[in-house]
Amino acid sequence: MIEIVTKENIAEYEQFVENHPQGSYMQSSRWAKQKPDWEWHGFIRRNRRGYITGTLGVLCRKMPVLPRTLIYGPHGPVCDPSDRETIHELIDAARKLGRRELTYLVRLDPSMQEIARPVFEARGFRGRSGRAYRVDRTRRVWQIPLEGRLPENVMDTYLDEHRHRVQIALKRGVEVRFGGKELVAAFSQLMELDSLREGHVVRPLEYYAGLLENFGDLAKIFVAEYEGRTACAALVLRYGRKTVCIHEADDGDINLRARYLLRTAILQQAIEEGCTDCEFLDVPRDPDTEEYAFVSGFGGWLTNYVGTLERVERPLSSLFADLFDAISSRVKKWLYFLRVR
């Protein structure tokens, strides 16, 4: 049985998402506040006994020019990946909404491993191919288990060279602290510096400030400082018993080893707050790169999620949207680098 989320049952929805192993902050209704141009809808699926077996939160955005919409369920649905019935009923609920809203495309990127892909393909979903809109940085995730560990013993799972580099940062006087909005400006500046170096577009300062406001004490900014300057920083969010490092940036000074100390502080704080896992996004595909060696040296393992899946409902409208997205993304990138350079 499917229920639409209302003010009467939203607390029950939020509790289920926050406590479920597949739960994600992006499935919280709080995430909708980050997307003012989108309209949020939530669905609850119950079994015959009335227990919740799954949920799905989706965002609906109107398409420019044409009277069509895009439906996107970030990191949804939230349920047992082997529960085909629940997944299909939640997908059908999203598609029913889509028919009412004249949707041209339904997009999902569930926090489920590749083994769940056939369940979605049975409902007509396919992997995205060549679209301008990219969200796959959350597909390859490095997970570090924290349950039963102590903050002072966090480096027990590190490679020897990682422990050594943490000590180097400490000896050179690098200091790590965390906070909220007072650190947004420093964090945003590093993100822009990193974007110039890597050639990609990042969010404006207001976006990060909004995330801190919308998630309150669950969101923090960590900064590693050296001689009055910010060497690296990270925006971290705790949801349920999981800590997720959403964004990271640094000033490019690899000799300082500040990133090693920063991640250590993030892991220690996650343990202090009772988290059982910590996730770092956007793991490189090539295991021979320096960045992959950096990520993997803290212990843990790589998890490959299904990635972005799409079901095209109106092919012509979808084709037009692809073209529009491709053009607008190029224009936005050009305007962005014109501003920051």
pLDDT at residue 135 in the model: 47
Q: Which residue has the tokens 């903050």?
A: 151
137 and 74 Cβ atoms separated by less than 8 Å: no
pLDDT at residue 128 in the model: 72
pLDDT at residue 66 in the model: 83
Q: Out of 177-181, 190-194, 227-231, 333-337, which region has the weakest mean confidence (pLDDT)?
A: 333-337
Structural domain total, the chain? 2
Confidence of residue 136 (pLDDT cuts 50, 70, 90): low
Average pLDDT over the chain, rounded to whole?
93
Q: What is the CATH number of the domain that holds 331?
A: 3.40.630.30
Q: Are residues 145 and 244 in the same domain?
A: yes
User: Can you state the angle between helices 160-171 and 258-272, rounded to 10 degrees?
Assistant: 100
Quick check: 62 pLDDT over 80?
A: yes
Q: Are residues 324 and 245 in the same domain?
A: no
The model's pTM is 0.93
pLDDT at residue 163 in the model: 97
Which residue range(s) make up the domain with 70? 2-135+306-340
278's enclosing H/E stretch is strand 277-280
User: Residue 31: CB partners within 8 Å, gap ≥ 6?
Assistant: 25, 40, 57, 74, 214
Q: Are residues 178 and 291 in the same domain?
A: yes
pLDDT at residue 129 in the model: 55
Model confidence pLDDT, tens digit, residues 292-304: 999 999 999 999 9
Model confidence pLDDT, tens digit, residues 8-50: 999 999 999 999 999 999 999 999 999 999 999 999 999 999 9
